[in-house]
Structure formats: C-alpha cells, structure tokens
Amino acid sequence: MSTTIIPEAESQQSSGPAAGRGSSVPSSGASARMAAIAAVTNYQPTTRPLNFSETPTQDLFSANVFSKKVMKDRLPKPIFKSLVATIEAGEKLDSSVADIVASAMKDWAIEKGATHYAHVFFPLTGATAEKHDSFLSPNGEGTAIAEFSGSQLIQGEPDGSSFPTGGIRQTFEARGYTIWDVTSPAYILENPNGTTLCIPTAFVSWTGEALDKKTPVLRSMEALNRQAQRILTLFGHEDSAFVASTAGPEQEYFLIDRHFFFARPDLVNAGRTLFGAKPPKGQEFDDHYFGAIPERVLAFMLETERELFKLGIPVKTRHNEVAPGQYEIAPVFESANLATDHQQLMMTTLRRVAEKYGMACLMHEKPFAGVNGSGKHVNWSLGSSSQGNLLDPGDTPHDNAQFLVFCAAVIRAVYKYQGLLRAVVASAGNDHRLGANEAPPAIISIFLGDQLTDVFGQIKAGGANSSLEKGTLTVGVDVLPPLPKDAGDRNRTSPFAFTGNRFEFRAVGSNQSIAGPLVAMNAIVAESIDYCASQLEKATQGDPESLHSAVQTLLSEVINECGAIIFNGDGYSDAWHTEASERGLLNLKTTADALPYLQAPEVQELFEKYEVLSERELESRLETYLEQYCMTVNVEAQLTIEMARTMIFPAAIRYQNELAATCANLKLVGYEFDTDTLDVATSLVKSLQDSIAVLDKAMSEDGAVDLVDEARHCCDVVLPAMSTVREYADELEGIVADDLWPLPTYQEMLFIK
C-alpha cells in the first residue's frame, strides 16, 4: 500500500508562512533565533550618551562614598579620629561614637536623595544581599520624621533564614544579625527613582558564628597582621602600622546580546550553555585578544567604569580577552576586605550596566565549551603604610633579607596547604575550567620566575656564594643583587605566580567571591610567618647580630622542605602531571575531590588556631559548598533533559521527517535517494533518546548517604551522563537544517554583535 507523504515545507505552508533563513516569520523552532539576530543587527542605543567633559572623572571618584574626606568634614574631630584609628590601625571600635556617625551619615545620604538605608551582607552563596529600611518613622502625630540611630547603624536583624548556613541555624531559630563593618565605607546606590544608603556589614548568627564571607576575611587579616608584626620587629621596625593583605582582582567576563541570552534556557538558568557545537571559527586566530573593543561594548565599559568610580572603586584596566566576546576589567589593588566588597559591587555593576546596553554579562567560569573560560586572577600581597609592600624585593640587601623571609613564608604556606588552596576555588563552574588546558591545572604549584628561583636555588645549595650580577650572596650580609621588579618572564600556566611584587592566584573562578581565596591565603601565610618568626626568635634570642645567619638557616630549611611546590615549566603539559605526582603534590581534579579537604585536620587546626573559623563554622561551610555543588549539577541535569526533550529532539525528528518525506516522494517518481544523512540522523535521534533515559535514571538513583557521597555521584555519574546527551545533541546540530534549529548557535552568540 502506498501512502502519499506531504513534504514538510508544504504542510507548514498551509498553516503559516514558510520557514527559512530569509523569511521574517519562520514557523520552525528557529523563530527565536531569527528574531534575536534581527534585534541584534537593529540595535540602537537607548540611553543618552555620557559626557565626560561636563563631569570629569576625577570629580566623580568616590562621589557616592561616605569617605574619609566626608567624615572629616562632617564629624567632630575626636569622633573622626577614633573612627580612623579603627579603620587604619585596626583598633577596637568605640561604639559610643555610633549615634553621631549615624546622624552625619543620614544627613549626607538624604542630601544625596536617599530615602532608605540598607545593611549589605555577603552570605555563603557568594552573592550580595541587602535589606532596605526606610529612614522615615511615624511620630504618632500623623507625620513622619527621618531617623537613623547609632544602633540601627551598628546592628540589623534581617530575616535571613533562607540563606545557607550549613546547619548552624535551624529556621525556627533563625536569628541572624548584620553588624556594621567600619573598615568598608558606606555608599549610595543610585536608581533612577531614588537612592539608598548602603552599609557594608558582617552577618552572624545569634550564637555569634559567622554566616558570611566577610567575617573570616576580617579575622584572617587580623591574624596576618599579628604574625607579620613579629617579623618586622625582628628586622627592627617597631612602628606597628597595621599590616594588611592587599588584593587586586582581575575579572574576566563574556558579553552577548540579551536576545540570544533569553533564547537559551541554559544560559538563563545555569549561566552556561549545556549544548552547542563548536563554531567553525573559534579563538584560534587570537584576533580578539587585546583587539579593538566594539563600540557598544566600549560604551558599556565607559558607563560601568563611571558607575564604579562614583562608588570609589579604582578601576584601571580594560581589554579584550582571548575568546571572542570575552573581556577583562581590573581595579588598582586595595586592602583585602575593601577589595572583596568592591569586587562584589563590580560584578553587580557589570551585570546591571550590561542590561542597559542590551547585553547579558556572563560571569560563569565556562559559558561556552571549547572556548576559553573566565577566571578571576587575585593578585595578593601584604604591606603597611610605613613599610610599603612587603613582597617587593626592593633594592637594598637588608630589605631583601626581610623580603626573602616573607617570600619563603608564602612558599611554605602554599606547599603545606595546597589542598586548602584547591578547595577554596572548587565549584561546579570552575571544574570546567581548572585543568582544562587553558586555565591553570588543578595541581597547585608556584611560579617564582628565573631570578627568585635562582636565589632560592643558591640558598638551597648552601647560600654562601652567588654569581648573580656582582658580589656574593649571603643573605643580608653581603651584597645581594637587586632583584628586578619583573622577576623574569611571565608564565600563564601557573596557578600561583610571583609577578614581581605580589603573588597572583589564578585558579579563582570568574563567578566566585574572592573572600574564600583571600581568607585561605591570609590564614596560611599567617601560620607560616608564625613559624618563621618563632624560628628566628628562638635562634636570635634577642641578639640582633645573629639574625642574618638565622635567616640563612631558616631559608635553606624552608626551601629544602617545601621547594617541591616551585615549578616554572608548562603547567598544561602531561609531563607536569607525572612529575607533580612524583613530587608528591596533590592533584585534586574536581570539586568532589577538593571540597572534602576542608575537613583535613591541619586545615581545621589552622583556622581554629588563628581564630579565623571555628570547627563548626568550617563544617558549615563545607556542607554549604557541597550542597551548592550538588544543586548546581542537578539543575543543569534537569535542564539538559528538558532542553533535549523539548527543543532538540523535536527539531531532530522534524528534520528526520523531512528527509524521510523527500526519500519517499523521490521514490514515487522513480528516483533513488541517498539515505546517508537520514541514517545518521536516525541513529543520532535514537542515541539522543537513549542518553536522555540514562541521565534521567542517573538522577533518580539516590543512593547517597551524605553530601560528600552525593557530590561524588554528581561528579562521577550525572555529569558524564549529561556530557553524553550533549555529544549527540551537538552532532545533531551539525546536520539538522539550520532553519529548524531552535537554539542560538555559538557562532551567533559569539560573533553577532
């Protein structure tokens, strides 16, 4: 029996206009794509251009910040002095000043149009949270007055019961308090319809446990200062100016048009594409890196920077990154706590301003498979107002000896706590980046550069003689050649690199808060400095003459014990993996491997000893991060199933049907049809369906006894099953008729601007 099969195109024509590249109203699943492309190519700016000559940038800097200058102008002298002592010297806050500060702050904010104030805090999700309250209170006589008391400034009580706490709070005892952080200035957040006074705060439970990212940053900074002072004292610097850790985070991100973004459920819900074949032209030409910045993007950057400037965030550099559609922004470094708050504001601002320019800012570590991911290089050092940067090699031998002690302390810290450094950058997103031959490997090592490697090499070999430039090298006694600021060449493959006067931790993910990495660096270096100071104090016993030989002994001991962490070679190579394992270095490949390291006894001991995190606080963090990992993978898996079933499968069978129809119709009129493509399509459709079923089953198998177990299951079973679905879907993308394909392609998202 022969049936007449009506060709697909014809059947569609009866119900609507034909699909196709050229037609304006396609009837296939590709309509969203076509509409997006049309919208992108017709983009017109909707905002008034900024005029920088009317308001020069320098007039804008910190315009919305309750800065030291504003405080000086508005506060009585003793109160101002007391605040500055807390901010700059880390002295205990005198809470009796709060009422006066609050009143000055309120007046200032109201002059700037504020109607509300908000305690801003940083929950463990890595996001920024804020609770807004009006300044107005009814006065009982039918009117209201603007009020803001010292106690409202110092403490708030948001109902933060839904924030993750890793078991510290039950929802029925959900009291959490926000506490004013004087060291991070209040600022005004603008909105076209009014402004809000924002007060950075720490977020703690009613039992006093940290529920946030800020509290441990502050605690770790104090620990680092305490220990660093001991080394400075040994070297004769007794002024005790606060030694702060400093941070300069370089943020990478992607920009794509919002129309593409909203046509991709995976980008909207997971922040990354779960499907998408590699474009014919990727980044291999390197023609995007440092290339001219497209006009719309540059307009966005100018406005972002202007907004950040108003908030007192010292943004400095901007450029195109390696991948098409990828960019970077970096501020000048600041004290770690301030840098952390500013980094959060920077991410919020990037997202907000991108929307205004019709774009979506993607901060995910790997929004596009096969295309470079995004990291956040956290430049880290420590220094004080009197001593400057303590990781600056300087040019006098005396300073060099001191520098070498601090540097050795960092080397020892990274060696001893590799696992912790790996754990604090672990996340579902960053797993797609670390170790993927474009970002640092999951093995933590230090790049020291030729100069320093040479110096430490000599110390290891006895330390007495050096042939570096002129003179001999006996640390601190004879002439040590001044180290150049740029310690040799760059190495882009190292996760932790010395870059002249600071270390650059490059394994941090673009979407992560920098708080965790900073807490870890501050704490491990504090522990190491503690160790070094104790050794030196013991060896010198108050005899400053013996300091230099004690330093010599200490340095050679550290380099002998911990030198295995130094690696200047190619971190992407397979040979490094083999060598690293021979050296006994950890290689924690995934989040499921790395996170449990937070429970290692030495990590617990470290945080407890330096009062950075209690055992319970640490445990709650581990639990929260594991939970987040599992939730992320589960959402992605659900999305994969949904998109595969409702978008990709339908497109595939429509095309399959079209091919089958053509085949049948050709046969009717006596032609042969080469069924190769139909065969491939049919087999892929089958494989797609089967792989969806496997993923579905992987998700419903819930044998996990605890979160570590569940994370393992996500990592070892669910993620590979997702990849398989993707593989078939991406292959289908390569054969299904373009006008039927429902998802904006990589090529469109990355190249149509």
Q: Could you list the residues that contact Mg ion (CB under 5 A)?
A: 377
- Rounded to 10°, the helix 547-562/515-540 angle is 130
Q: Which does 332 bind (CB under 5 to 8 A by kind): ligand ADP, Mg ion, none?
A: ligand ADP
Q: For ligand ADP, which is the closer residue by CB, 498 or 629?
A: 498
Q: Please, which residues bridge with residue 247 across strands?
A: 334, 380
SS3 426: coil
Half-sphere exposure of 218 (CA within 13 A, CB side): 24
Q: For ligand ADP, which is the closer residue by CB, 313 or 722?
A: 313
Instruction: Point out which residues bind ligand ADP (CB under 6 A).
Output: 246-248, 250, 317, 330-333, 379-381, 389, 501-502
Q: Which of 694, 366, 693 is nearest to 512 (CA)?
A: 366
Q: Which does 82 bind (CB under 5 to 8 A by kind): ligand ADP, Mg ion, none?
A: none
Q: For ligand ADP, which is the closer residue by CB, 316 or 686?
A: 316
Q: Which does 317 bind (CB under 5 to 8 A by kind): Mg ion, ligand ADP, none?
A: ligand ADP
From the CB of 334, what's the least distance to ligand ADP, in Å? 8
Q: How far apart are CA 660 and CA 368, in angstroms?
A: 33
From the CB of 250, what's the least distance to Mg ion, in Å? 5
Q: How far apart are CA 101 and CA 98, in angstroms?
A: 5
From the CB of 331, what's the least distance to ligand ADP, in Å? 6
Q: How far apart are CA 10 and CA 236, in angstroms?
A: 89
The residue count of the chain comes to 753
Q: For Mg ion, which is the closer residue by CB, 300 or 503?
A: 503
Q: Which does 128 bind (CB under 5 to 8 A by kind): ligand ADP, Mg ion, none?
A: none
From the CB of 427, what's the least distance to Mg ion, in Å? 20
Contact between residue 151 and residue 31 where contact means Cβ atoms under 8 Å apart: no
From the CB of 246, what's the least distance to ligand ADP, in Å? 4
Q: For Mg ion, which is the closer residue by CB, 330 or 603?
A: 330
From the CB of 562, what's the least distance to Mg ion, in Å? 24
Q: For ligand ADP, which is the closer residue by CB, 246 or 427?
A: 246
User: C-alpha distances in angstroms, 688 versus 274, 369, 549, 648?
Assistant: 14, 19, 69, 9
Q: For Mg ion, which is the closer residue by CB, 156 or 517?
A: 517
The residue with its CB nearest to ligand ADP is 248
For residues 315-337, b (16+ Cβ closer than 10 Å) or e, as one string?
Answer: beebebbbbbbbbbbbbebbbbb
3-state helix, strand, coil in the chain (%, to 5): 50, 15, 40
Whole-number CA gyration radius for the chain: 29
Q: How far apart are CA 499 and CA 505, in angstroms?
A: 10
Please name the residue that has the structure tokens 């926000």.
Answer: 178
From the CB of 410, what's the least distance to ligand ADP, in Å? 12
Q: Which does 560 bind (CB under 5 to 8 A by kind): Mg ion, ligand ADP, none?
A: none
Tokens of 698: 């992987």
From the CB of 30, what's the least distance to ligand ADP, in Å? 40
Amino acid, res. 500: G
From the CB of 340, what's the least distance to ligand ADP, in Å? 12
Q: For ligand ADP, which is the closer residue by CB, 129 or 382?
A: 382
Q: For ligand ADP, which is the closer residue by CB, 177 or 498?
A: 498
Q: Which of 461, 464, 442 is nearest to 453 (CA)?
A: 461
The residue with its CB nearest to Mg ion is 377
148 Cβ neighbours under 8 A, 6+ residues apart: 102, 103, 105, 106, 117, 135
